[in-house]
Amino acid sequence: MKFDLVIAGVGGQGNILASQVIAKCAMDAGYNIVNTETKGAAQRGGSVLSHVRVSTDEIFSPLVPAGQADVLLGFEPLEALRFIGLLNKNGRFIINTAPIRTILSNMNVDEYPTTQQMVENIKSRGLQGYFLDATQAAKELGNILLTNVIMLGAFTEISDLLPGDVILQKLLSQVEEKFHADDTKAFEAGRKLIQSKMK
């Protein structure tokens, strides 16, 4: 068994926490794991990509090769598009459609694609997955910082790798107690968003 996950997002979105929660759960479940991040300038609004590799065999490289990821979580649509080539043909994605514009696109040096353009670009590749507005859902729960927890909850609905409740408990063990109620709500909201799209 091997399972490769990549999480693409923007610095500050909580990408690394989400990937570490999954990696720790996989480790507890007795799998081999290797994970890494590209985060050089992450806290300054840069692109962040986390790699989580889980296997019953030896894992040699920390990086998920192109066309090998089983799941891609896109916390931001442009970042999902940037790394969509990592997903394998049978892989699945969950992409948050709320854009975070780039500085260059704000300046009109680059053109930030419309959500529709990004969605169509990804759909045209014949890949399976879900688009959802996790940022909006987080705002409705009162805190935009819950976006990553919603995405994590959503992930547990499309992967049999680890039980959803185990991932939630691991997440809660990593954050301060005052956040537990909101995180639990956000996690469930993410699960429900996917369930409603599966119907």
Partner 1 sequence: MLGNEAIARAAAESGVKVVAGYPGTPSTEIVDLCGSYPGVYAEWSANEKHAFEVATAASLTNQRSMAVMKHNGTNAAADFLMHVCFTGIRAGMVLISADDPGGLSSQCEEDTRILIHKYAHLPVFDPSSVQEAYAMTKAAFELSEQTELVFALRPVMRINHAGSLVEYGEVLPSNRKVEFVIDRSRFVMSAVVEKESGGELRPKMRHRWLNAKQKELKALMEASPFNWLEDAPGETGFIGCGIGYAFIKEAQQILGRKLPILKLSTLPLAEEKVLAFVRGRKRVVVFEEIEPVVATLIKALCFEHKISLEVLGRDTYLPQEGELSTNFVLTAIEAASAGKPYPVAAKSEYVPARTRTQCSGCSHRGLLIAMKEVVRKNGGVVTGDIGCHDAGTFDPIKLQATIYCMGSSIPMAYGIKKAGFDKPVYALIGDSTFFHNGLTGLASAISNNGDVIVVVAYNSTTAMTGFQPHPGSSNNLSQPTTPIDPGTVAAAMGAKVFRCNPYNVEETIEVLVAATAATGVRVVVAEALCYLRFSREGKISFVPKNISIDREVCNGCGLCVRTFGCPAITLVDGKANIESSGCNGCGVCVFVCKQGAIK
**Binding site residues, partner 1, CB under 8 A:** 10, 23, 27, 32-38, 40-41, 43-47, 57-63, 65-68, 78-79, 81-82, 101-113, 144
Start-to-end CA distance of the chain, whole Å, equals 29
Query: Closest distance between partner 1 and the C-beta of residue 117, in Å?
Result: 11
Nearest residue (CB) to partner 1, 57 versus 160: 57
Q: Which residues, in sequence order, are bridge partners of residue 95? A: 74, 131
Nearest residue (CB) to partner 1, 110 versus 165: 110
Residue 69 CB-half CA count within 13 A: 28
Helices (H) and strands (E) in the chain, counts: 8, 6
Distance CA 199, CA 191 (A): 13
Nearest residue (CB) to partner 1, 62 versus 163: 62
Taking a C-beta distance cutoff of 8 angstroms, is the pair 83, 37 a contact?
A: no
Nearest residue (CB) to partner 1, 61 versus 195: 61
Query: Closest distance between partner 1 and the C-beta of residue 189, in Å?
Result: 19
Query: Closest distance between partner 1 and the C-beta of residue 195, in Å?
Result: 29
Taking a C-beta distance cutoff of 8 angstroms, is the pair 54, 31 a contact?
A: yes
What six digits make up the tokens of 130? 């879900």
Query: Closest distance between partner 1 and the C-beta of residue 131, in Å?
Result: 17
Nearest residue (CB) to partner 1, 59 versus 197: 59
Taking a C-beta distance cutoff of 8 angstroms, is the pair 70, 4 a contact?
A: yes
Query: Closest distance between partner 1 and the C-beta of residue 137, in Å?
Result: 16
